[in-house]
Structure 1
């Protein structure tokens, strides 16, 4: 019988929760009891984890009793209320929401980049970055370790599943509306066909791209753009790093992509950058454009790594690299990173 630490999965019935249960069944079994927790309306459902059917418990103090590690895959307001409760009961909390990411007493962790930070948790909570940050940070972090990152300019191509189930349902409904039509050939025709029902997006996402994701912030930026900037700085330990991001929603179901222009303190070489990326944990290098080999969301979806290609040295700056990265926003962008952090925390209970 496995006497490992007890794991509580809060938000087990959601999309990221379903992926986490798959990962727990695929990874080495370091856990003892795995307790599944969700909102009261989802309590009583039975889900399979590690080949065993397990009943979902309603979120409450009793459900959190005795948990050694608690992974929260829930909205920010739910995490803000219940993560401190779990921590006060002695659990190491891993939170995937934005509730604690910028708290100076909460480490923001990507295990391939800053695994040591898991132990530096005055509040008993470890935060996981936003899915867009996670799409690029493993690759950028590996290059930073070699060359010393000095600046980033990025454009994101974000899948609709980043907006939850409503985002996916909105895209599928709009695609069915425009399929077999001549829409997309005249000004405003897609918007007129879709009407006011654009779901969680500011404009139609089918046959379109929407250069906005998040809430309005100062200076015309969105909250997700400034969040990517702040999170990258915190994970890499570069509080003054120059970062500019444009977040764009695209008609892709799952897997975020990022176009990256990175500048460094030292001169870069593509051959050496290839070596770094080819051996970096959590990265797959796919970079032969002449043969049609480069990452796309359709290839990366359902996989764990960050897929990297189109690696080029800037023609105008020997200190700059341009690259394209794809990462599944439900795996590394959420559940996988949380699982990796939880497994690091589980190591503290061994012996």
Structure 2
């Protein structure tokens, strides 16, 4: 089976990575359509040695196409405006923005964790927040084995999460230039704010982690809290995760459980100073977990250190994996 695929936001950081991953995975693309804003329309983008002209994202340029899958990475407002037109022509939209994540009619999916949610889609599937995605395979495995009582996230998020402008702020900041994307210098600094503040004192990013964790794991009453921090690292988010379980655990069993979890690599050898670090995880697909240890200050509680490439697994890769899972489950129209 082959599929007609659209990439919306094809010239952006995540859109470019989506095209790269479609190539790496040899996804069965029959026809490819690259969409971007009017500013980028007409640019040439290469895919598998062939040059494609970027199409301006507007209604009339969608409704005249026959598209099976639309991979969106163009921001929430753009998704809210244009996703419906792709659904109208029969495409399944896989959206990387926050626009649809908490919509009760839209599945929020990490393929290794809750693929069954894909069966209930109504044309739109949401890709979770990058910092949420990487914790999900680990927490799902622990939830299934021991049950979850409470999760405490402390994140160390790379500048790539803010797009190309975030990366430029770090690179230029190292040369002494002032930031354009961030409100403060990021080079040599930490910014304990990602997205805007809400009335409850949390940022939108922190509340995304709280609400998305509950939705993906189907645990609406799970106690979750988060503190999200931007750090001067180019790519790959790191997270310190404190997990209180419903039942006690054997630490060796936890190591074995996570070592056998799809999409997870355990890197935890303190005798040889082996643990996940963003510099070495960048460009890789799995979620890496290390520093696995009992929290002696609280009953049935674990400390974990989780690192993943936020542009790959945290965005582009997860979206392509959703497309692959849809095809595998027979939930996509295509052509022989």
Secondary structure of 1:155's aligned partner: strand
1:55 to 43, 53, 56: 53
Unaligned runs of at least 5 residues, structure 2 = none
Contact 1:210–1:250 under 8 Å retained in 2: yes
Encode CA deviations 1:269-306: one digit per residue, 9 max, x unaligned: 22111111111111111001221100000010111111
Structure 2 matches for 1:166-245, cutoff 5 A?
166-177=165-176, 197-245=178-226
Q: 1:214: Cα distance to partner? A: 1.1
State the aligned residue count. 330
Counterpart residue number, 1:114: 114
Encode CA deviations 1:64-94: one digit per residue, 9 max, x unaligned: 3211111101111111100112112211111
Distance in 2 separating the partners of 1:39 and 1:119: 32
1:18 matches 2:44? no
Q: 1:44: Cα distance to partner? A: 1.9
Are the structure 2 counterparts of residues 61 and 344 from structure 1 closer, same or farther at C-alpha, using a change threshold of 3 Å? farther
Counterpart residue number, 1:9: 7
Counterpart residue number, 1:292: 273
Contact 2:110–2:322 under 8 Å retained in 1: yes
1:42 to 22, 26, 40: 40
1:280 matches 2:291? no
Distance in 1 separating the partners of 2:249 and 2:182: 39
Contact 1:30–1:343 under 8 Å retained in 2: no
Alignment RMSD: 1.5
Counterpart residue number, 2:131: 132
Distance in 1 separating the partners of 2:159 and 2:313: 16
Encode CA deviations 1:99-146: one digit per residue, 9 max, x unaligned: 111110111000010011112123x11001111111221222222221
Structure 2 matches for 1:141-160, cutoff 5 A?
141-160=140-159
Structure 2 matches for 1:254-273, cutoff 5 A?
254-273=235-254
4+ residue segments displaced more than 4 Å? none
Contact 2:154–2:228 under 8 Å retained in 1: yes
1:344 matches 2:325? yes
Distance in 2 separating the partners of 1:55 and 1:200: 29
1:70 matches 2:70? yes
Distance in 2 separating the partners of 1:314 and 1:104: 35
Are the structure 2 counterparts of residues 163 and 29 from structure 1 closer, same or farther at C-alpha, using a change threshold of 3 Å? closer
Distance in 2 separating the partners of 1:273 and 1:34: 43
Counterpart residue number, 1:185: none
Unaligned runs of at least 5 residues, structure 1 = 178-193
Q: 1:62: Cα distance to partner? A: 4.0
Q: 1:318: Cα distance to partner? A: 4.4
Q: 1:174: Cα distance to partner? A: 1.2
Contact 2:205–2:228 under 8 Å retained in 1: yes
Q: 1:316: Cα distance to partner? A: 3.0
Distance in 1 separating the partners of 2:325 and 2:8: 18
Are the structure 2 counterparts of residues 324 and 60 from structure 1 closer, same or farther at C-alpha, using a change threshold of 3 Å? same
- The normalised TM-score by structure 2 is 0.94
Contact 1:255–1:326 under 8 Å retained in 2: yes
Contact 1:268–1:318 under 8 Å retained in 2: no
Contact 2:172–2:179 under 8 Å retained in 1: no
Encode CA deviations 1:42-69: one digit per residue, 9 max, x unaligned: 1222222233322222212344321111
Q: 1:199: Cα distance to partner? A: 3.0
Encode CA deviations 1:304-332: one digit per residue, 9 max, x unaligned: 11111000011133411101011111101
